Amino acid sequence: MDVATGRAQPGSRMWRLTGWLLAAVWLFFLNVPFATALRQDEPWRRALGLGTLVAFAVAYVLVFEWARSHRQASRPIPRRRAVAAVLGLLALGVLGIPGTDGDWMTTLVFVAAAAVFLLPPAWALVVVVLAALTPPVAGHLVPGWAGESTIVFAVLLASFAMFGVSALAQRNGELRAAQQEIGRLAVAEERARTARDLHDILGHSLTVVAIKAELAGRLLPVDPARAAGEIADVERLARSALADVRRTVGAYRGVRLAEELAGARSALAAAGLVAELPDDVPELPAERDELFAWAVREGVTNVVRHSGARRCTIRVRPDEVEIADDGRGPTPDAAATGHGLTGLRERAERQDATVTVGRRPDGRGFRLRVGVPGEQR
């Protein structure tokens, strides 16, 4: 079944058709009791034999398909209904004795197969043993049925074959369930990725837009030219954020450390903070460069929003990136809350990196550090 549309796939429809055929093809072996019923001289015996055989065939196919659908969907087969189905098939076979004579025992082959498919293994084994013992015992007690002892082999063969069919149906159901779970997890992961990227993009961009708009409002009466420059930056940032959102929705979003450092310099300056940033960026693998870029974006956004700091320092080494400030420091739950930090930790886990949140080594301010353990000295 397609996870997105809920529609059955062609393979599922083919398997359903195969299931019906697999159940029906075995009915060929009812030709012996069917021929016996046709040879009956008395009309009522003929009608009873043919009627019970037709009812038995229809019931067997329906029971098989019902059980197969449960197994394929990984649903448990109701035990009481399963027992009732096996007993019902047996009753139809016995009911036809006046019209089928000793050939009624051919139906035991189907009863044993149904038991293997429907019942727990221990119960099914009991039914198979009883079905295999019935022909020789009945042949000994009823002289006219002596030739039916060959049905023992058919009962054992059919039971063994049905065991394979049962296992196949069970595995097929488990496979489908696993495929649906994989599809569900893929959808959930994609939604989480989109939500994480949108938060990181819009949280940073809108923070800088708000700061620059506030700065432009303060500058407008005293320095209109600079206020106009800040408004132009607001427009540029808004367009850039819109483009980032479009790329994120299209799964093409990516960030670069050099670009984020340049954006951080502008955002910190607009917020009135002294920025200490590296002049150049070391050569990094693409995935690590992107991870460090997200760390800079999240760290600078938090500094501008929450820190109350006057200075922000960003250090970049091949094995780690660190964003620190001299503000009020982290709240008791800062390390565990916030969508931005959660998203950053998820990104870091993919590269076996670590995210450390807390105060600076001197006990002041706030520090966000992302390091790659395998690279550390």
- Higher pLDDT residue, 14 or 358? 358
Residue 227 reports pLDDT greater than 50: yes
pLDDT of residue 44: 92
Cβ atoms of 366 and 299 within 8 Å: the answer is: no
Q: Is 305 exposed, middle or buried (0-12, 13-18, 19+ CB in 10 A)?
A: middle
More confident call, 351 vs 14: 351
pLDDT score at 91? 94
Q: Who has greater pLDDT, 335 or 83? A: 83
pLDDT of residue 1: 41
What's the pLDDT tens digit per position in 45-98? 999 999 999 999 999 888 888 887 777 666 788 989 999 999 999 999 999 999
Q: How confident is the model at residue 201 (pLDDT cuts 50, 70, 90)?
A: low
Name which of 362, 345, 363 is nearest 354 in CA terms: 345
pLDDT per residue as tens digits for the range 300-314: 888 888 778 889 999
pLDDT at 268: 86
d(CA 227, CA 56): 90
Residue 56, pLDDT score:
92
pLDDT in tens, 135-194: 888 877 877 776 555 788 888 887 777 776 666 666 666 676 666 677 676 666 656 666
CA distance 64 to 57: 11
* Of 21-25, 59-63, 357-361, minimum mean pLDDT range: 21-25
Residue 270 near residue 214 (C-beta atoms within 8 A): no
The stretch 99-107 carries a mean pLDDT of 88
Higher pLDDT, 94 or 225: 94
Residue 55 pLDDT: 94
- The whole-number pLDDT of residue 327 equals 87
Q: Tell me what the mean pLDDT of segment 193-209 comes to.
A: 68
Per-residue pLDDT, 336: 45
Query: Whole-number mean pLDDT of the chain?
Result: 79
Half-sphere exposure of residue 142: CA atoms within 13 angstroms, side-chain side: 13
320-325, strands of its sheet edge to edge: 274-276, 311-317, 320-325, 366-371, 354-358
pLDDT digits (tens, 9 = 90+) for 238-275: 777 776 666 665 554 567 888 889 888 888 887 888 88
Q: Which domains does the chain have, with CATH numbers?
A: 10-182 (no CATH), 256-377 (3.30.565.10)
- Inform me whether the pLDDT recorded for 3 exceeds 50: no
146 and 139 in contact (C-beta within 8 Å)?
A: yes
**Residue type (1 letter), 146:** A
Is pLDDT at 341 greater than 50 in this prediction?
yes
Lowest mean pLDDT among 106-110, 229-233, 291-295: 229-233
pLDDT at 292 exceeding the cut of 80? yes
- For the stretch 129-146, what's the b/e string if a residue is b when 16 or more beta carbons lie within 10 angstroms of its beta carbon? ebbbebbbebbeeeeebe
Give the C-alpha separation, 357 to 335, whole Å.
6
Contact between 156 and 125 (Cβ < 8 Å) = no
Q: Does the pLDDT of residue 331 top 80, yes or no? A: no
Q: Cα(14)–Cα(11) distance, rounded to whole angstroms?
A: 5
DSSP-derived pairing of the beta strands 354-358 and 320-325: unpaired
Residue identified by tokens 């009991």 is 126
Q: Strands, DSSP E only, in 160-300?
A: 274-276
342 class by beta-carbon count within 10 Å (0-12 exposed, 13-18 middle, 19+ buried): middle
CB of 70 within 8 A of CB of 77?
Answer: yes
Residues 210-229, mean pLDDT to the nearest whole number:
80
Percent of the chain's residues with pLDDT above 70: 74
Q: Which residue has the higher pLDDT, 75 or 203?
A: 75
Q: Give the model's pLDDT for residue 315.
A: 94
pLDDT of residue 6: 41
Cα separation, 311 vs 323, in Å, equals 11
Distance CA 353, CA 171 (A): 38
Contact criterion met (CB below 8 Å) for 65 and 19: yes
